Amino acid sequence: MRPINHVLISAGVTAIFSVWVRSWTAIGACFLSGIFIDLDHHLDYYLAKKKIPFNYKKLDHFCKKEREAKIYLFLHSYEFLALLWVTIFLFKLNVIWIGIAVGCTTHVLCDEVANPLRPLSYFFTYRFLIGFKREYFFKKGYRDE
Ligand SMILES: [Zn+2]
């Protein structure tokens, strides 16, 4: 999903979140986490290329077409989201953490719907079991365009 779509969706979700929350910090955390969770794409790029991607087109090409690099996406995982939500409730973390969790969860669910992924691709355990290989991450035929 393109960054502008994440910005728009995150703004909408944050607007709804702000109906119940009176903390500007939590509202900001919700909005920003719904966008900047994508920084794990930068980490994948860095791990593959040993340099930081400052050019969006290069990063986009890397995410969609790079055949050799592995897909770790540490934050795009249901295990991470579950751990975040369980930690919030077990340790009764404040509303800022709930904002972060709402933003991240919304982002991953939207990516799940919008991106051409195999059904289990956003489970970190699945990616670990397939050796983080791209050929099992995207739907068959997607990378051959
Ligand atoms: Zn994403």
C-alpha 24 to ligand 1 mean position (Å):
24
pLDDT in tens, 31-69: 999 999 999 999 999 999 999 988 989 999 898 888 888
Task: Tell me the residues surrounding ligand 1 (ion) with CB < 5 Å.
Answer: 38, 111
C-alpha 26 to ligand 1 mean position (Å):
20
pLDDT in tens, 85-105: 999 999 999 999 999 999 999
C-alpha 35 to ligand 1 mean position (Å):
8
Q: How far apart are CA 88 and CA 26, in angstroms?
A: 14
Q: How far apart are CA 60 and CA 55, in angstroms?
A: 9
The reported pLDDT for the residue numbered 145 is: 46
C-alpha 120 to ligand 1 mean position (Å):
15
Q: Is the pLDDT of residue 144 over 60?
A: no
Mean of per-residue pLDDT scores for the chain: 94
C-alpha 43 to ligand 1 mean position (Å):
13
**Hey, where are the domains in the chain?**
3-144
Kindly state the percentage of the chain with pLDDT values over 70: 97
> pTM value?
0.91
With the CA atoms of 128, 59, 45 and 39 taken in that order, what torsion angle do they form, in degrees rounded to the nearest 10? Answer: -70
pLDDT in tens, 4-39: 999 999 999 999 999 999 999 999 999 999 999 999
